[in-house]
Amino acid sequence: MAASGEVYGAALVMVLVALYALAVSGQRWPVVAGLGAGGTLVIWLAGGLGGPWGWWGGPQLDMWAEMVAAGAVGGYVSARHRWAHSEQLRREQLERARAEEIRQQVTAERLRIARELHDVVAHSMAMINVQATAASTLVGTDPAGVTDSLQAIRSASKDGLRELRSILDVLRQVDEPQLAVPLPDGHGLQALAEAARAAGVRLGFHCDADLQAAAPGTALAVHRIVQESLTNVVRHASGATAEVSVTGGRGRILVDVVDDGGSGGAPFVEGTGSGLAGMAERARAIGGRLEAGPRPGGGWRVHADLPAAPARHDADPATPATLLGS
């Protein structure tokens, strides 16, 4: 432009740069368009009217197209930046949500493992402790009773070890969807009842529910709830009379474990309450509910109402249905 003698070109360079920067700065497009048109008009009037080319401005008419181009390119770049920024925010939000989901899954898995270990270890150790206490009191007076208690300790420790091995086997089978671990049935409940009787509980047992036809998660929950309830009877109600009832029908399985509180004192006085919380979590996890509390006439009652068929969220592979030790 300078070589051709046009005396108005160079001054527009900085205006074009400034207008581009104005558009990139994220101003609303009406503001950019208004300022761009106003500035162009001012410059055009300053150089056009009364200038060497008359009112129409001559070569400086190019200025309008150049200003529009500068504003449009700046607007495009600004929109592109905003889009990239929103995409970045969306990606970060997705990553945070995913990290939170993984964290919740890890927490749920940890709680599930803790629940399984608690139920298995607490049950076995309670049985062993009670039998060991009985054996120590019978030494020298009832050799046959001592032998029975030692046999019960052997049986309880053997069962506990087997369940622990089963849990460890399941934990190692991280990539296998089908687990070769037996699911609980009526025989498993019967074995729990026998172990409680051997520990001195006068126990009545009734089971007419078909656990093998129930959902795996429900069968496991029934087993663990009965196991934990009987463990609590042994630990906190020595010499108690208790009743276990597992009934099925209309798509539900009802579990009731009641005791009269016993009369021989409690071999264990300490407790964290995690067993009751674990039972309630198990019931909730498969869409059921659990109530536990003292009975009006003394003793304790545990009542669980569980769905026989799998609940919608029971399909989660992380549910306790995959873990069992009996």
The residue ranges that bind other proteins (CB under 8 A) are 1-15, 17-19, 21-22, 25, 27, 35, 39, 42-43, 45-47, 50-54, 58, 60
CB of 50 to other proteins, least distance (A): 7
- Closest distance to other proteins from the beta carbon of 37 (Å): 11
12/226 with CB nearer other proteins:
12
CB nearer to other proteins: pick between 19 and 211: 19
Nearer to other proteins, 15 or 280 (CB): 15
Residues 6+ apart with CB under 8 A from 16: 66, 67, 70
Closest CB to other proteins among residues 63, 246? 63
Cβ of residue 62: shortest distance to other proteins, in angstroms?
14
**How far apart (Å, rounded) are the C-alpha atoms in residues 257 and 237?**
13
Please state the closest distance from residue 19 (CB atom) to other proteins, in A: 6
Amino acid making up residue 198? A
CA distance linking residue 77 with residue 29, whole number of Å: 12
Q: Cβ neighbours of residue 137 under 8 Å, at least 6 residues apart?
A: none
Closer by beta carbon to other proteins, 41 or else 171: 41
Amino acid identity, position 221? A
Tokens 């108005």 correspond to: 8
Phi, psi (rounded to 5 degrees) for 217: -65, -40
Nearer to other proteins, 35 or 111 (CB): 35
**Which residue, 47 or 217, is less far from other proteins as judged by CB?**
47
SS3 letters across 223-269: HHHHHHHHHHHHHHCCCCEEEEEEEEECCEEEEEEEECCCCCCCCCC
> C-alpha dihedral over 248, 251, 257, 258, to 10 degrees?
-90
Distance in Å, CB of 101 to other proteins, minimum = 34
CB of 81 to other proteins, least distance (A): 12
Q: What is the dihedral sign for C-alpha 167, 195, 156, 268?
A: positive
Q: Rounded to the nearest whole angstrom, what is the least distance from the CB of residue 3 to other proteins in the complex?
A: 7
Nearest to 212 by CA among 222, 226, 202: 222
